[in-house]
Structure 1
Amino acid sequence: MTETKPFISVALCTHNHLDRLVRTLADLASLHAPVRPWEFLVIDNGCTDGTSEMLATRDWALQGAQIRVVREDRLGLSNARNRALREARGEYLVFMDDDETPEPGWLQALEDAMIAHAPDALGGRIAVMFEDGARPPWLQDELLGFLGKLDHGEACWLTSEETPIFGGNFAFRREVFERIGDFDARLGRMGAINTGGEDTEIHRRLLAHGCRVRWVPAAVINHRIQTPKLQRHYFLDLHFRQGRWQGARKRGGGSRMPPKYLAPQMLRAFGRAIAKRLSEGADHSLRLEMNAAYFTGYVFGWVRDVA
């Protein structure tokens, strides 16, 4: 018997996070199913930790959803998401991560917005859940966005690059990728490499192509934060790598000699970070240290990397 074509495809991309994935799949059992048919698509991104074997048991299968597991051996979150674009059959494609716990009404809220507004893309609210320990004192509120926290307030249309949607809780009309192109495979996590930026980059492309992006605050996902991310090095490394990519992209095929304006900018960034740390202590200086790490990576990428 032929299965009914789904209206929504939910894609979860995972790489070697078996323990996190087991928790996420268990939490999804509390999800309120959408009214229209839906499918749940798991992209096994080159897993070698027992994830593939666990998924093959289908003991975790969600009630009411059409279930498929697809393996993508090209490592990288963007490669996995692009594979989901090829595999999904729904009119809308919803992405989530393997370390998240949606609120029970999450998917229904997205479906309601899809039906009511027919947007090209949607984003939902992301809350931060400290799973493995207490929040460290240096983790100021201004840094929570780098752990995925996102809240743009009341429901609205998003029309600015300053109000992006994040990969832990966004959705797209599947046909929109024919207009804007796929996820940039150079961006996003790649195994243990701490790289991001693929979600804000595709948000910029959505706006540049005149796409309608809807903010759906009732669609809430909780991002579970593990101990490895509760280290200063995580934030500094993330910004260094982002700077490397930006520097290489900006240089393009030009000279590897960095432009003169970078030196004073970099020095100012380091000066502000040092001054903040000396005056207020390490618990208040990380944001400025991240700026310095970004400029360091920018120069490094300009000189060393290929765009």
Structure 2
Amino acid sequence: MSMEMLRISAVVCTHNRVEHLAEVLRSLQEQTLDPERFEILVVDNRSNDGTAALVRDIAEKQSNLRYLLEPEIGLSHARNLGWRNARAPFVAYLDDDAVAAPDWLERISLAFERVLPTPGCVCGRVAPIWGKDRPAWLNDRLGRYFSILERQDPPGWLADNAFCGANMAFPRAVLAKLDGFDTALGRRGANLLSNEELLMSKRLRASGPGIYYDPAIAVRHHIAAARLTRGWIIRRVYWQGVSDAIVWRRLEAPDTTHRLKAAVRSLRPIFVLGGRLARNLARGDTKRVFDAALRLVGRGGYLIGLLALEHAP
């Protein structure tokens, strides 16, 4: 592969998702962009399900595919290994259970070439592939917890930080300048920590480069049936609360006194939500009970995130 022609590195970080990985890699093999212009890096985050054998077998037949092992469990660790080993000036991330549109890499590459000033991040649409029928309780507000991003904005600069890690790309130089993704955030083992993309977006904005969104830069994302339960969304919302607190701590760097004051302030909404939950339970209002319970769990997670002694990488 000619290093002069290489334009973009597609990074797939994976942990025990071999059942989806072949489909993910096939979507990257079928890209409209000239294969000489991109490489595919699969970062194996200590899988034990045959991932290494699958990727190495495909790599024997595909010269632009490389296998990397990240033994430290954590999505942010894997993403950082990906950009640090990327040979191209731009790095695009695709989830290990997502399927890229055929022109995904071509559109990302064109955005970086044509949009001025050069974006700090290019992102796009993420549509769901449902593992079973969408539950009635899963409204659009909760959809964000499942990495669904179907905003219909025309191509342009985002005024908010709402982009999705299943479909995002950065100049490698920007990732290097910001030292990549914060390893205190992102999935790690059984927990559902998130917000590594949110913290990245806030640091991007603070350093200058904007975030460019194009709905035509599209992927589809598998949502497993096991996630489409109330139990899973309760866990997810709890860890979202923890993640939000960690982002606040990372940005504000509060001392112990300020953390404790923030924790005390967070008690009032917990009591309010607890009262609302009790009233809805007494009325037998199932929908409002679930909504209040989710909000209460999220606030509880935020309190735990504030009080935890440390969230080190």
Aligned position for 2:104: 106
Cα 1:286/1:4, change in 2 over 3 Å: farther
Instruction: Select between 277-286 and 179-188 the one with higher mean Cα deviation.
Output: 277-286
- Please give the secondary structure, in 2, of the residue aligned with 1:167: coil
For the structure 1 residues 140 and 242, does the alpha-carbon distance in structure 2 shift closer, same or farther, using more than 3 Å as the test? Answer: closer
Aligned match of 2:268 = 264
Are the counterparts in 1 of residues 94 and 100 from structure 2 also a CA contact under 8 Å? Answer: no
Question: Greater shift after overlay, 72-81 or 146-155?
Answer: 146-155
Contact 2:122 2:211 in 1 (8 A): yes
Map Cα deviations across residues 67-91 of structure 1 (whole Å, 9 max, x no partner): 1111111111000000011100111
Cα gap change, 1:243 to 1:226, in 2 (>3 Å): same
Structure 1: tracts of 5 or more residues without a match: none
1:147 paired to 2:146:
yes
Bigger Cα displacement from structure 2, 42-51 vs 101-110: 101-110
| Structure-2 separation of matches of 1:274 and 1:80 | 43
2:31 corresponds in structure 1 to: 31
Extract unaligned runs of 5+ from structure 2.
none
Q: Supply the distance in 1 between the matched residues of 2:282 and 2:34 (Cα, whole angstroms).
A: 53
Q: CA, structure 1 residues 31+274, in 2 after alignment: closer, same or farther (shift >3 Å)?
A: farther
1:220 alignment partner AA: A
Give the counterpart of 2:67 among 69, 72, 77.
69
Using the alignment, how far apart are the partners of 1:276 and 1:24 within structure 2?
44
Find the counterpart in structure 1 of residue 123 from structure 2.
123
Describe the shift of the 1:247–1:217 C-alpha distance in structure 2 as closer, same or farther (beyond 3 A): closer
Judged with a 3 Å threshold, the aligned counterparts in structure 2 of structure 1 residues 246 and 44 are, in CA distance, closer, same or farther, namely: same
* Structure 1 position 22 matched with structure 2 position 17: no
Q: Which of 17-26 and 257-266 deviates more?
A: 257-266
Q: Decide which moves more: 84-93 or 98-107.
A: 98-107
Q: TM-score, structure 1 length as denominator?
A: 0.88
> CA shift at 1:182, angstroms?
1.6
- Which AA in structure 2 matches 1:51? T
| Aligned mates of 2:277, 2:29 — CA distance in 1 | 45
Q: Does structure 2 retain, via aligned residues, the 8 Å contact 1:143–1:287?
A: no
Counterpart of 1:7? 7
The DSSP-based 3-state class of the residue aligned with 2:264 is coil
Q: 1:128-176 CA distances to partner (integer Å, 9 max, x unpaired)? A: 110x211111112221111111134110112333xx2211000001101
Contact 2:108–2:217 (Cα < 8 Å) also in 1: yes
Q: 1:275 and 1:30, CA in 2 relative to 1: closer, same or farther beyond 3 A?
A: farther
2:195 touches 2:244 (CA, 8 Å); kept in 1? no
Amino acid at match of 1:299: L
- Distance of 1:36 and 1:125 partners within structure 2: 26
Q: What residue identity is the alignment partner of 1:254?
A: T
Q: Which moved more, 1:281-290 or 1:140-149?
A: 281-290
Using the size of structure 2 for normalisation, the TM-score is: 0.86
Shift, 1:61, TM fit: 5.5
* RMSD of aligned alpha carbons: 2.6
Comparing 196-205 with 102-111, greater Cα deviation is found at 102-111
Verify the 8 A CA contact 1:46 1:72 in the aligned structure 2.
yes
Of the three residues 81, 84, 103, the one matched with 1:83 is 81
Aligned residues: 302
2:283 and 2:209 mapped to 1: Cα distance? 46
Percent identical residues: 27
Secondary structure in 2 matching 1:185:
coil
Superposed, which structure 2 residues align to 1:200-215 within 5 Å?
A: 200-215=198-213
Residues 282-301 of structure 1 aligned to structure 2 (within 5 Å): 282-283=286-287, 286-301=290-305
